[in-house]
Amino acid sequence: MVYDIFIIGGGINGCGIARDASGRGLKVCLAEMNDLASGTSSASTKLIHGGLRYLKYFDFKLVKEALKERDVLLKIMPHICWPMRFLIPLQSFKINNFFIRCGLLIYDYIAGYSILPKTETTNLQNSSFNAFLKSKFTKAYIYSDCWVEDSRLVVLNAIDAKKRGANILTRTRVINFEKKGKLWNVITKNNKGEIHEFLCKCIVNAAGPWVDNINNYTRSKNTFSTRLVKGSHLVVNKLFDHNYAFFLTGNDGRIIFVIPFQDEYSLIGTTEVVHQNMDQKPMCSDEEKDYLLNFINNYFDFNLKTDNIISSFSGVRPLYSKNNHKSKNMSSITRDYVLNLEFIENLPFLTIYGGKLTTFRKLSENVLSRLKDFFPEMGSEWTMKNSLPGGDFLIHEKKELVLKLQKKYPFLDQICSNRFINYYGTLSFEILKNVKSKKDLGKNFGHSLTEIEVDWLLKNEFAKSVDDILWRRTKLGLKFNDNEKNKLENWLKYKI
C-alpha cells in the first residue's frame, strides 16, 4: 500500500493532522515511538487559551487565532474542555495594574463575540477569594479561558483518525527514510524489534522536541531549528474551596498559574529552563520546585514546602528558532508555529516547528493547505464543526448528561459519573452498554477504575501499559498506591 502522508510523531500536532487528513480522504500512516501524548502534549499547563501574556510581546496574530480556536474547541469537545475563570490579584496603586487592565481590554476585544464572560473587577477585601491571599492584595481582575484534558485530546484525535482510515502505530520508531523511485520509503522499528517499511508520497515531521533529530536523516539545508525549553509543574492537595484559577505575576516577569486539578488537587506551573537535548529525560529539578513554591508563598498566607508536593511533571516545548537565535528571555520567544515545506530529492518533506495546544486544529488545516498541490483530490476543511468522539453535545448539557448516566447506572457514584463524562462524554454509554449491575463492571482496580473501562482503553484507545492508563488516558495515577498499581499491572500481563 502507498500512503499519501506519513506522519512522524503522535503528539497533538501529529494526531490532529492525521485526523484532518484522513477525514479528507487521504491515506495516512502515523508512527509514534512511545505512547500517544507521551511527550510534550501530556505535560502542558492544560489550558485552551488565547495567551494573555503574549500581548506583552505584541504577538497579536497568535492571540487572535488562539482566541478564535478557544471557542471552536469548546464547541467540538465539551467533555474534555470547559470554561474557567482566572483571578489576577493586584496591589493598590501599582502602575502595572493599568497595563494589566489594558491587556485584558485588548484580550476581550480581540476575542470578539464569545460564549465566555468578559473581564470583571472584584474587591478582594469583601470577597471569599481573599481567604488565603496576603492582605496587600486589595482587588483582582477576573477573566475567562478554558481548561482541557490534554492527553485525552491527543488520544481522541487518534481514535477519530483511525475510524476514518488512518493507520496509527504506537511504540514504533522511525529509524530512517530514503527515496525509492518517486516515493518515500520510511523504515520503522517497533518495540518488539520488528522492522517494517512504508511507502508514501509525503512525510510530515511532527516530532515536537525531536524534529531536529528527524531532520538529521535528511540533507536539508534549512536554517530552522528549535529551542528546547523545559516547563515543570507541581501537583499539591487542593488549596482553595472554589474552582477559580489564579494568574500570578512575578518580579522576574514570569507568569505562574495555580489551577484546580482533578477535583482534589491544585496544579502549579510553569517554569522555563533551557533543556540541552532530548537524550536527557525532562524532570522537575529541586531548583524549579523551590522557585514555584516560593512564588506561590509570596502571594498566599500558607507556607507550601516540598513535603506538600504530591507529584511533579516536566515537558519540553520545542520553540521555533531561526538561525539558532539565542534569546536570553525565553518567555519572549514566540509560541507560534512555522511550517517548512522543502523538497528533498524532489520529494515533499514538511516540518513543523513550535506550536501550541490551543492552535493544533488550525495548524492541521494549514499543513494540509500547504500540501494541497500534491493532493488536489483531497476534501475541504471539515474539523471546525465536527465534534471529537464523545463530544456530540452542548457545553450547557453536561450536567444533564451526568444525571442521565447516573439514572441509567445508579450503582456508579457521583465521582465516577463525573469522571466518565469528563473523559468520554457520550461514549460513556457505549463503554457501559452491556453493564446491567455493578458486578458487570468486573474487577475494581481502585478509585472507580474497573475492568470494563480498562478493556475499552486497551481495545479502542491504544493503551498498552499501566502508565498509559493511569497517566495519559486518565489521571488516576495521582490516587493509585503501589498495591493498586501492581494489581492492575498483573491483570494487564494476563490480558495482553
User: SS3 string of the chain?
Assistant: CEEEEEEECCCHHHHHHHHHHHHCCCCEEEECCCCCCCCHHHCCCCEECCCHHHHHHCCHHHHHHHHHHHHHHHHHCCCCEEEEEEEEEEECCCHHHHHHHHHHHHHHHHHCCCCCCCCEEEEHHHCHHHHCECCCEEEEEEEEEEEECHHHHHHHHHHHHHHCCCEEECCEEEEEEEEECCEEEEEEEECCCCEEEEEEEEEEECCHHHHHHHHCCCCCCCCEEEEEEEEEEEEEECCCCCCCEEEEECCCCCEEEEEEECCCEEEEECCCEECCCCCCCCCCCHHHHHHHHHHHHCCECCCCCHHHEEEEEEEEEEEEEECCCCCCCHHHCCCCEEEEEEEECCEEEEEEEECCCCCHHHHHHHHHHHCCCCCCCCCCCCCCCCCCCCCCCCHHHHHHHHHHHHHHCCCCCHHHHHHHHHHHCCHHHHHCCCCCCHHHHCCEEECCEEHHHHHHHHHHCCCCCHHHHHHHHCCHHHCCCHHHHHHHHHHHHHHC
The answer to whether the beta carbons of residues 242 and 85 sit under 8 Å apart is no
Considering the chain, tell me which residue range(s) the CATH 1.10.8.870 domain(s) occupy. 395-495
pLDDT tier at 279 (50, 70, 90 boundaries)? confident
pLDDT tier at 334 (50, 70, 90 boundaries)? low
Percent of the chain with pLDDT over 90: 83
Q: Give the model confidence (pLDDT) of 451-491 as tens digits.
A: 999 999 999 999 999 999 999 999 999 999 999 999 999 99
The answer to whether the beta carbons of residues 350 and 203 sit under 8 Å apart is yes
Percent of the chain with pLDDT over 70: 97
The answer to whether the beta carbons of residues 347 and 276 sit under 8 Å apart is no
The pLDDT of residue 129 is 79
pLDDT tier at 437 (50, 70, 90 boundaries)? very high
| Burial class for 322, CB neighbours closer than 10 Å (0-12, 13-18, 19+) | exposed
The pLDDT of residue 225 is 78
Q: Give the model confidence (pLDDT) of 158-196 as tens digits.
A: 999 999 999 999 999 999 999 999 999 999 999 999 999
pLDDT tier at 325 (50, 70, 90 boundaries)? low
The pLDDT of residue 327 is 56
The answer to whether the beta carbons of residues 349 and 202 sit under 8 Å apart is yes
The pLDDT of residue 340 is 94
Q: Give the model confidence (pLDDT) of 74-96 as tens digits.
A: 999 999 999 999 999 998 767 68
Give the cell for residue 80. 474534555
Q: Is the pLDDT of residue 147 over 60?
A: yes
pTM for the full model?
0.96
The answer to whether the beta carbons of residues 237 and 266 sit under 8 Å apart is yes
pLDDT tier at 250 (50, 70, 90 boundaries)? confident
The pLDDT of residue 322 is 63
- The CATH code that applies to domain 2-41+151-223+332-370 is 3.50.50.60
The pLDDT of residue 450 is 98
Q: What is the mean pLDDT of residues 201-222?
A: 90
Which bin fits 345, alpha (ψ -120 to 50), beta or left (φ > 0)? left
**Superfamily of domain 395-495 in the CATH hierarchy:** Alpha-glycerophosphate oxidase, cap domain (1.10.8.870)
The pLDDT of residue 224 is 81
Q: Give the model confidence (pLDDT) of 368-395 as tens digits.
A: 999 999 999 999 999 999 999 999 999 9
Q: Is the pLDDT of residue 428 over 90?
A: yes
- The CATH code that applies to domain 80-148+227-324 is 3.30.9.10
Residue, of 482 and 220, whose pLDDT is higher: 482
The pLDDT of residue 439 is 97
Considering the chain, tell me which residue range(s) the CATH 3.50.50.60 domain(s) occupy. 2-41+151-223+332-370
Q: What is the mean pLDDT of residues 247-253?
A: 87
Q: Is the pLDDT of residue 326 over 60?
A: no
pLDDT tier at 333 (50, 70, 90 boundaries)? low
Considering the chain, tell me which residue range(s) the CATH 3.30.9.10 domain(s) occupy. 80-148+227-324
The answer to whether the beta carbons of residues 132 and 239 sit under 8 Å apart is yes
CA distances from 31 to 75, 153, 199, 459 (A): 29, 18, 13, 18
Q: What is the mean pLDDT of residues 440-458?
A: 98
The pLDDT of residue 252 is 84
pLDDT tier at 58 (50, 70, 90 boundaries)? confident
Q: What is the mean pLDDT of the chain?
A: 94
pLDDT tier at 66 (50, 70, 90 boundaries)? very high
Q: Is the pLDDT of residue 330 over 60?
A: no
